Structure 1
Amino acid sequence: MSIYDKLSQLGITLPPVSVPVAAYLPFVRSGNLVFLSGHVAKKGGKPWVGQLGAGMETAEGRLAARAVAIDMMGTLHAAVGDLNKVTRIVKLMSLINSTASFTEQHLVTNGASELLAEVFGDKGAHARSAFGVSQIPLGACVEIDMIAEVA
């Protein structure tokens, strides 16, 4: 099954690449690796604002991380022209806007990791880091960047 058939089956429409809000590129390709800049969680086209552990629960954070994964797939599609060229999702780095006492950053990040595995199968299994941070640009609750390998 093609990646696009899987996305359709899941009811996912890929968004266009977001315009950077600072001095960076949305992606850079070097050889067979594509590096995606950090994508912040969005809800209704605006930053998904919140802090885990302060009025925002893990389940909502997982949904935000899943939304980031969808945005990243849109950017990856723009970078390579065809998601079927992806040979491996190599690494995610996830930043979770959270209180000092919140310790479920890894579970929040699962929202992105599980979707990528569902869409790409074995090629979607990846290494990752999940960090709690005191703030993310625009007050977003989650920011994730990605490295992918392509044919």
Structure 2
Amino acid sequence: MKHLTFLFLFLISGLSLQAQTPEERISQLGIDLPEVKRPLANFVKWRQVGNLLFLSGIGSDQKGRLGEDLNVEQGYEASRATGIMILATLKAATGDLNRIKNFVKVRGMVNSAPDFYEQPQVINGFSDLMVEVFGEKGKHARAAVGHVSLPFNIAVEIEVVVELEE
């Protein structure tokens, strides 16, 4: 009987997660979305083509080079924080995060020392957050690559392509 009770509770908890909207999950995670600021140069933060939404690269507030100034855990947190900024940008671009049908492609760029090879573990901070917020819709094709430098010495920059509901 214990096993049936556990299974029932597990199934019910899964159903309640499915019933939650992305914005309800963001609130449940205790995340406050920041204000989306205008670009500092001559480009746009996003561009919609058909039902695809392309976000420009969004960088972390964390400065430094992974494997030199920062460790993997700090990079993971920088990547997660960048994900929060991306959520805010997606909300500004769509008006409603429920419009996101699927994450399609993510390109994670990591400011890396020459002998740092753990870029995927760093970008997991972003990927894990998207799955926490969007469930299966948050899973995506991905590249996680190292760069000798990123603008303003930021630790992480991430580009995103999402498919929108029609």
CA contact (8 A) 1:28 1:36 kept: yes
Aligned partner of 2:71: which letter?
A: E
C-alpha distance in structure 2 between counterparts of 1:102 and 1:148, whole Å: 29
Structure number with greater Rg is 2
Partner residue of 1:86?
Answer: 100
Partner residue of 1:125?
Answer: 139
Task: Report the identity percentage.
Answer: 42
Partner residue of 2:91?
Answer: 77
Partner residue of 2:7?
Answer: none
Q: Is 1:27 aligned to residue 62 of structure 2?
A: no
Deviation of 1:124 after TM superposition, in Å, equals: 0.3
Partner residue of 1:45?
Answer: none
User: Within 5 A, what are the aligned runs for 1:1-151?
Assistant: 1-42=20-61, 48-151=62-165
C-alpha distance in structure 2 between counterparts of 1:130 and 1:23, whole Å: 26
TM-score, normalised by the number of residues in structure 1: 0.95
CA RMSD after TM alignment: 0.7
- Which whole-Å deviations, capped at 9, do the CAs of 1:48-74 have from their partners, x for residues lacking one? 210001021000000000011110111
Gaps in structure 1 of 5+ consecutive residues:
43-47
Deviation of 1:17 after TM superposition, in Å, equals: 1.5
C-alpha distance in structure 2 between counterparts of 1:97 and 1:150, whole Å: 30
The number of residues matched between the two structures is 146
Gaps in structure 2 of 5+ consecutive residues:
1-19
3-state SS in 1 of match to 2:57: strand
CA contact (8 A) 1:18 1:26 kept: no
